[in-house]
Amino acid sequence: MMNNHQEPSFLPNFCATKPFLSLILFAELLAISVVLLRTPFEMLNWLSFALTSFYIQWIVLLSGLGMCVLRRYFGGLSAIQLGVWGYIVILSAVLMVSSVAQWILFKATRPDELYQWQLVSILQPLAIAVIVAGMVMRYWFLQWVKAQSTVGMDASLGGAAGAYSPPLSF
C-alpha cells in the first residue's frame, strides 16, 4: 500500500537518526528505572541491569524498525488505523523478544531438559507493554494533534504560534 502523496503521520520517523536515538535513550532510561524499582540502589545488581537493558533494547529496536516500515509503507492510513498497527507492531516485538528470551534463559539454565513454555513470563512483559505502548502512542498522537492545530493557528496568526516547540517531542 505504498502511497506517493503521504501526509504527515503522528508516528515519529524512526527511519531518521534523531528519533531512533531518542528511542534508544528512552529504552535505557526505562531499563535503569525497572532495575532500580526492583532493587535498592545500594544492592544494585549489574547483571540484572545488563539483562534488563539487553531485553528492553531488543524490544525497542525491533519496534523502531517495525514503526519505520509501518510509516513508510502504510503512511496513507488514517491516524487511528496507523495507531492500531503501531500498537500491534510494539506488542508483537514484545511477544517475540519475550519468547526468545525465555527459551534462551531456559536452555542456559537447564540444557538437558525439554523446553517448557511458561505463560506467565510471556504475559507479564506483554501486560506492561500494553500499558506503556498505549501511553506512548497516545502521547505521539496528542503531539501530532497539537502540531496540526498549531499549523492552523500559525496560518491565522501570522507565525506567532510557530515559535513554540513542545518538550520531549520526537
Confirm whether 68 is domain-assigned.
Answer: yes
Confirm whether 72 is domain-assigned.
Answer: yes
> What pLDDT score does 155 carry?
57
C-alpha cell at 5: 502523496
**6-63 residue pLDDT tens:** 456 788 888 899 988 999 999 999 999 888 888 877 788 888 889 999 999 999 999 9
> What pLDDT score does 1 carry?
45
Handedness of CA 68, 74, 78, 80 (dihedral sign): negative
Backbone angles phi, psi at 158, to 5 degrees: 80, 30
Residue 157: pLDDT above 80?
no
Q: Within 45-78, where are the H helices?
A: 46-73
Terminal Cα-to-Cα distance of the chain (whole angstroms): 25
CA 92 vs CA 3, 27, 46, 60, 103: distances in Å: 24, 17, 28, 11, 17
Confirm whether 90 is domain-assigned.
Answer: yes
Q: What is the dihedral of CA 111, 116, 122, 56, to 10 degrees?
A: 10
Confirm whether 134 is domain-assigned.
Answer: yes
Split at pLDDT 50, 70, 90, the class of 5 is: very low
The angle, 0 to 180 degrees and rounded to 10, between the axes of the packed helices 120-157 and 79-109 is: 150
Print the domain residue range for 91: 17-156
Residue 124: pLDDT above 80?
yes
CA-nearest of 65, 75, 71, 53 to 7 is 75
Confirm whether 7 is domain-assigned.
Answer: no
For residues 20 and 14, the answer to whether their CB atoms sit within 8 Å is yes
Residue 83: pLDDT above 90?
no
What is the model's pTM? 0.76
Q: Which residue has 487511528 as its cell numbers?
A: 80
Confirm whether 164 is domain-assigned.
Answer: no
Confirm whether 107 is domain-assigned.
Answer: yes
Number of domains in the chain: 1
| Distance from chain centroid for Cα 59 | 8
Residue 121: pLDDT above 90?
no
3-state secondary structure of 10: coil
Measured CA to CA, the distance from residue 78 to residue 83 in angstroms comes to 8
Confirm whether 126 is domain-assigned.
Answer: yes
The angle, 0 to 180 degrees and rounded to 10, between the axes of the packed helices 79-109 and 46-73 is: 150
Compare 2 and 147 and report the one with higher pLDDT.
147
Split at pLDDT 50, 70, 90, the class of 168 is: low
